Structure formats: C-alpha cells, structure tokens
Chain A
Amino acid sequence: MYIKIGKKRHSIYDVGFNTFNGIVMVFLMLVTLYPFLNTLAISFNEGIDAVRGGIHIWPREFSLQNYRAVFVGGTIYRAFFVSVARTVLAAVLNVFLTAMLAYCLSRKEYVLNRFITVAFVLTMYFNAGLIPNYQLIRSLNLLNNFWVYVLPAMISAFNVIVVRTYIQTIPESLIESAKLDGAGDFKIFMRIIFPLTKPALAVVGMFTIIYQWNNWFDTLLYAPSKQSLSTLQYELQKLLASSFQQNTSARATSSLSAELASDMVTPVSIQAAITVVAMVPVLCVYPVLQRYFIAGLNVGGVKE
C-alpha cells in the first residue's frame, strides 16, 4: 500500500519533470537549428528581397542567384578547392604519421621511446607564440606558400598519445608471431597495426578535417593578400569584417565585393550562400564518423 502511494506520488513528479525536460529539449533544438535553417533559407532567397527581412526557415522568393554568383565568380570556386586540398592532404598525412609514431612509442623495447614521448608531450604545454612562429614560417620560406597550411600541423602530440593508448590494447602476441615470421617493424605497422587502429585513427582524421576546414587564421597571418591561396573560411572572414566596415560607412575592400556588385545579390545573401557551402562538407563527414568518434573519445579519455 505504502509503495503504491509512493509510486503514485512519484509519477506526478515524473510527469512534471518530463514536461520540463521536454520544454528544455525543444528550446535547445530550436536555438541550435534555427540559425542553420535561417541561413539556408536566406541563401535560397532572392538577394534584394532578403534585405527586407522576415525570412525565417523558408525562402520567400526562391532563387539560385546567390549560388550562381558564388560559383561563377571564380573567387569562391577557387577558395573551395584550396580548402578541399589542404583538408584532404593534411588529414591523410596526419593519420598516417600519427599512427606510425604511435606504433613506435607503443614498443616498450624501443630505446628512444621515453625521449621521444617526453619531447612530444612537452609540446602540449607551451607554445612559442605568434611572433616567433611567424619568424619561423618566414625563414622557412613558407609565407604565401600553399604548404604553410599543411606543414606546421602534420602531427599533434595529443593525437599520438591517444592512438598509442589504443595500440597498447592490441594483443602483443599478434606482433610477436609476426616477428617470428621475420616481419620487420615497418611491415608489422603497415600490415597489422594500421588496419587494427582504424577507430582511433578515424577520430584523428575527423579532428584534423574539422581543424583544417575551419581554419582561417593561418591564411590571415601567412597569406593574407595572395588570392590564389584564399580559403572559404578566409573569404567568409573578409565578408564579416567588411560588414562591420559598411556599418561605419567605410568602403569594403574585399575583391569579392567588386565581383558581386555586378550581380543581383547582396552581401547578406552571398554570405549565407558561402556559409552553406562552407558547412556542407563538415556536416557530411560528422554523422559518418560519429560512430567511431564516440568510441575513440572514450578510449582516449579513460586510459589517460
């Protein structure tokens, strides 16, 4: 009897709690999704009409003008390919080099193991800073050079540690028996370890892709006026900056604005279209890698 009353009282609490929880979740979904849907709607809306405002999640006057302007102009088209190139190249290099070093550091008998581990782990705690790094890039002749996107970020200590931890869970006997068959370390790495490390490497690959694709700061710093090296994110950054300038009634100097002046598009609508283009690849990658990513994240987190 007592339990029954207890149960009944709890169920009232439960109803209350569930309602509250539901409201919070609906609010969260609205706040999260609205900006994306709104941007999407504006990008498909006729540019001058969009300036009137009042567009929420559906375009009022449907038009592909903005996307045409984005891809016909050449600037964005090119920037898109620079973004893709740097992302793909860096992701491949990162995954391979991280796995290779992580394998070496997972070998307990390796004489340089400790030294290399310490050298890498220390880099997680300090950074020479903006100006010394700039000097380095300049002395390596990487200013205004495509490789400035890839070379400085080829491997990260954190990823190496995560992947090494993962490799340590692979049974030692696999490696022992391969050694007895006469396989060298490189062969063992390529044939056995690399395929078995896929879940952890998927995480490394994904974070590299996100980092590379979203980076605009290295362009601003190391190749600000070299149009052929501009990336999508950097073009967006220039548009954002020039939207401030317009507010203070100064003229925008972005080469893009000159290109746009001839079209029937406005900065806001073109910004929306580029934003959508800049979001699509990342949004395509993340549900695919999500499965691996949560597993890998947990592995790295628990063992550290």
Chain B
Amino acid sequence: MQESNLNTEVRSSMVVRKTNRKKMWDTIKNQKQLMFMSVPLLIYIFIFNYYPLYGWLMAFQNYRPRRDATMFNQEWVGLDNFKFLFTQHDFGRVLRNTIGMSVINLILSFVTAIVLALLLNEIKNLFVKKTIQTISYLPYFISWVIAATIVSQALSTDNGIINNMLVSLRIIDEPILWLAEGKYFWGIFGIANVWKQVGFNAIIYLGAMASIDPNLYEAAEIDGAGRMKKMLHITLPGIKSTFVVLLIMNVAHLLSTGGGAGGFEFQYLLGRGSNIAWSETIDVFTLRYGIRMGNFSLATAAGMFKTLVSISLVFLVNGLAKKLGENRLI
C-alpha cells in the first residue's frame, strides 16, 4: 500500500517535471517574438552601459594611453590615484564647488518653482495663465550653449545689459567683469539656472495644485479664509508630497550634476582661467585631467568616486523616504 503510494508520488512528480519542461519550451515558443523584440536591446544596453564599467580598472592603474595599450599591460598601483586625488589641493576645491553650486541650485530652484506655481495658480484668466506658462518654459528648450552665450553677453563690460543698467542706476560706478571674478560665479550660476528652468520646474507643482479638491477651498471660504490663508493652509499642504518626492530625487543627484545637465555644461562653457577656483566641478575636472592632459587613471578615479557617492546617496535617501513615508502614514 505504502509502496504503491510512493510509486504514484514519484511518477506524478516525474509527470509534473515533464510537463514543466514542456511548459517551458511552450512559453519560449510562444514568446519568441517578444524575445526577438527585446533581447537585442538587452545586448545593446550591456554593451553601452555595463561593458564600459570594466574601464574602472584604470583607476587602480597607472594607465598610459600608448598605441598598444590594453587594460592588462599596465602598471597596477592600488589606491594611489585615490590617495593622490584626496591629498591634492585641486580636488578639495572641486568638491567644494560641486556641492556648493548643487546646494545653491537646489534651494533656489525649489523656492522659485513653488512661488511661480503659487502665483500662476492664482491667475483666474485661463488664457493669460496659459500664455505666461508657455513663455516661462521657453528657455528650458534652448541649449546651454545658447544660454551661456546670452549670459556672457548680458554680463559683458562692453554694452552688456546688466552693467549698463547698474551703471545708469548708479548702483555701480563702472562696469564689472562679472565672469572674470570667481566670487560671482556661484551666484551667476544660480540665477542662470533659475532663468532657464523655473518655468519647467513649476509645471509639476501646477499639476499637483490642479488635483487639490476644490471643496476644500469652498469650505475655507465659508469659514472666512482669505486668499493668503487658503494658499498657506490648503495649496501648500496640497503639494507637500510632490515636494518631498522631488526633494529626495534631487538630493540623490547632488554630486552628479547639481540639477539637470546644467551642472556640467554651464561650468564648462563659462569656466576659464580667471574663475577656475570657483567654477570647476568634478565633471570639468575629469574632462581636464582625462581628455586634455591624458591622465586617464586620475580622471577615472574622480568619475568613479562621483558615481559611488551618487549611488550611496540614492540608497540613503530612498531608505529615508521609506521611513518618512511610514511616519506620514501614522
């Protein structure tokens, strides 16, 4: 009795295994079109995104880009490149600039986007609102080259509009070489970033404001709340979750570029010898050492450091967000 039970069990499990295998073949057969459509793209992403990671080995070598250079006929130097990076005077400055400009950009872009969204939200005429909004994100679509050209012309000592205005208003006596002096660079960067991005950044808040329940406003009106009160107690709390999500995302990208592609392009385009102490960020540093001086190893070490810090920030902030999310639920 027991034996036959065992037998049937074994037999049935064999049948199951057989049908499983058959099922697997069937699914592969059924899904071969899906595979045909997606596997080439998987290979593509491995070549262009994963394969270059092995270049990180260069950070532990003294890589010389000779003609017959491969990754394996180089001198291994351990952590020397990283040691050099952190003991070198330049890199501390570069790190300070990267973080400094990121933080300025983070604060300015959040404050201005929220204020613009609040103000736009209060415009009752739909046509006016839409027109202003459309114009306000126009600068987002032009390249940083054009934006940097506009900035450098506006700040020029040679009939630049900023200098002309400040001189005619008697705020300054003679034109200032704004871009030649490092101390103005962070401020110029912050303002240029706001000019280029504020309209676009406001879109998402306007979306959040549009989804606030109108009954809340009506109820507040009946209770005698004015415009300011409604903004403070209904609109602002209504966009809080959007704000938190965006804040988390931006903090995670603190080192990578400081809010969008502008973190590198602006600094590269308007950086020059006279302001380099305040304009050079990690990405510009990597470009200078890697491509211009041919020091592949040091540049790779700097880039690797940046990526690793960014990834840790992403995880840290994600963990924090989860905790915050739980708190908010309670």
B136 A119 Cβ-Cβ under 8 A: no
Assuming the A-B contacts A132-B53, A135-B52, are A184 and B33 also in contact, with contact meaning beta carbons closer than 8 angstroms in the complex? Answer: yes
Tell me whether B56 is interfacial, beta carbon within 8 Å.
Answer: yes
Q: Mark B297-318, 1 if CB is under 8 A from A, else 0.
A: 0011001101100110010000
B150 A128 Cβ-Cβ under 8 A: no
Q: Mark A120-152, 1 if CB is under 8 A from B, else 0.
A: 100101111111111110000000000000011
Closest residue of A by beta carbon distance from B207 = A298
Assuming the A-B contacts A130-B290, A152-B48, are A28 and B136 also in contact, with contact meaning beta carbons closer than 8 angstroms in the complex? Answer: yes
B269 A25 Cβ-Cβ under 8 A: no
Q: How far is the CB of A246 from chain B (nearest CB, A)?
A: 11
How distant is the Cα of A217 from the Cα of B143 in the complex, in angstroms? 11
Tell me whether B46 is interfacial, beta carbon within 8 Å.
Answer: yes
Tell me the total A-B contact number using a CB cutoff of 8 A.
Answer: 213
Cβ-neighbour of A101 out of B27, B41, B132, B203 (below 8 A): B41
Point out the residues of chain A lying under 8 angstroms from B272, CB to CB. Answer: 244
Cβ-neighbour of A128 out of B53, B227, B269 (below 8 A): B53
Q: A112-B42, A216-B145 are in contact. List 7 more A-B contacts (CB 8 A).
A: A25-B132, A129-B286, A130-B286, A130-B287, A185-B34, A240-B152, A275-B149
Tell me whether A214 is interfacial, beta carbon within 8 Å.
Answer: yes
Tell me whether A71 is interfacial, beta carbon within 8 Å.
Answer: no
A243 B152 Cβ-Cβ under 8 A: yes
How distant is the Cα of A130 from the Cα of B49 in the complex, in angstroms? 12
Cβ-neighbour of A129 out of B45, B227, B303 (below 8 A): B303
Assuming the A-B contacts A104-B38, A217-B265, are A134 and B139 also in contact, with contact meaning beta carbons closer than 8 angstroms in the complex? Answer: no
Closest residue of B by beta carbon distance from A301 = B204
Q: How far is the CB of A127 from chain B (nearest CB, A)?
A: 6
B38 A210 Cβ-Cβ under 8 A: no
Contacts of B254-283 to chain A: CB distance below 8 A: 265, 269, 272, 283
Tell me whether A32 is interfacial, beta carbon within 8 Å.
Answer: yes
Point out the residues of chain A lying under 8 angstroms from B152, CB to CB. Answer: 240, 243
Give the interface SS of chain A, mostly helix, strand, loop or mixed: helix
Tell me whether A72 is interfacial, beta carbon within 8 Å.
Answer: no
Tell me whether A36 is interfacial, beta carbon within 8 Å.
Answer: yes
Assuming the A-B contacts A119-B46, A155-B45, are A131 and B150 also in contact, with contact meaning beta carbons closer than 8 angstroms in the complex? Answer: no
Number of interface residues of B (CB under 8 A): 79
Tell me whether B123 is interfacial, beta carbon within 8 Å.
Answer: yes
Assuming the A-B contacts A17-B227, A129-B306, A129-B307, are A155 and B41 also in contact, with contact meaning beta carbons closer than 8 angstroms in the complex? Answer: yes
Point out the residues of chain A lying under 8 angstroms from B138, CB to CB. Answer: 32-33, 36, 283, 286
Point out the residues of chain B lying under 8 angstroms from A53, CB to CB. Answer: 158-159, 164
A28 B314 Cβ-Cβ under 8 A: no
Number of interface residues of A (CB under 8 A): 88
Cβ-neighbour of B49 out of A9, A97, A123 (below 8 A): A123
Q: How far is the CB of A216 from chain B (nearest CB, A)?
A: 5
**B-to-A contact residues, CB < 8 Å:** 27-28, 31, 33-39, 41-42, 44-56, 58, 116, 119, 122-123, 132, 134-136, 138-139, 141-146, 148-150, 152-154, 158-159, 161, 164, 195, 199, 203-204, 207, 224, 226-228, 265, 269, 272, 283, 286-287, 290-291, 296, 299-300, 303-304, 306-307, 310-311, 314
Can you name 17 A-B pairs with beta carbons within 8 Å?
A: A6-B224, A18-B122, A24-B119, A25-B132, A35-B154, A110-B34, A116-B42, A126-B53, A128-B56, A129-B55, A136-B52, A136-B55, A154-B44, A185-B37, A186-B33, A240-B145, A286-B138
Point out the residues of chain A lying under 8 angstroms from B119, CB to CB. Answer: 21, 24-25
Closest residue of A by beta carbon distance from B158 = A53
Point out the residues of chain B lying under 8 angstroms from A155, CB to CB. Answer: 41, 44-45
Q: How far is the CB of B272 from chain A (nearest CB, A)?
A: 6
Q: Mark A273-288, 1 if CB is under 8 A from B, else 0.
A: 0010011001100110
B142 A282 Cβ-Cβ under 8 A: yes
A104 B45 Cβ-Cβ under 8 A: no
Point out the residues of chain A lying under 8 angstroms from B50, CB to CB. Answer: 119, 123
B58 A132 Cβ-Cβ under 8 A: yes
Point out the residues of chain B lying under 8 angstroms from A233, CB to CB. Answer: 143, 145-146
Cβ-neighbour of B226 out of A10, A127, A133, A135 (below 8 A): A10
B307 A127 Cβ-Cβ under 8 A: yes
B56 A301 Cβ-Cβ under 8 A: no
B122 A17 Cβ-Cβ under 8 A: yes
Q: Mark A35-67, 1 if CB is under 8 A from B, else 0.
A: 110110000000000001110000000000000
Tell me whether A192 is interfacial, beta carbon within 8 Å.
Answer: no
Closest residue of B by beta carbon distance from A287 = B134
How distant is the Cα of A131 from the Cα of B59 in the complex, in angstroms? 10
Closest residue of B by beta carbon distance from A55 = B159
Assuming the A-B contacts A32-B135, A54-B159, are A103 and B52 also in contact, with contact meaning beta carbons closer than 8 angstroms in the complex? Answer: no
A100 B226 Cβ-Cβ under 8 A: no
Cβ-neighbour of B38 out of A14, A112, A125, A131 (below 8 A): A112
Cβ-neighbour of A186 out of B37, B49, B299 (below 8 A): B37
Point out the residues of chain B lying under 8 angstroms from A290, CB to CB. Answer: 134
Q: How far is the CB of B97 from chain A (nearest CB, A)?
A: 17
Tell me whether A261 is interfacial, beta carbon within 8 Å.
Answer: no
A237 B269 Cβ-Cβ under 8 A: yes
Cβ-neighbour of A110 out of B31, B47, B287 (below 8 A): B31
Closest residue of B by beta carbon distance from A154 = B44
Q: How far is the CB of B162 from chain A (nearest CB, A)?
A: 11
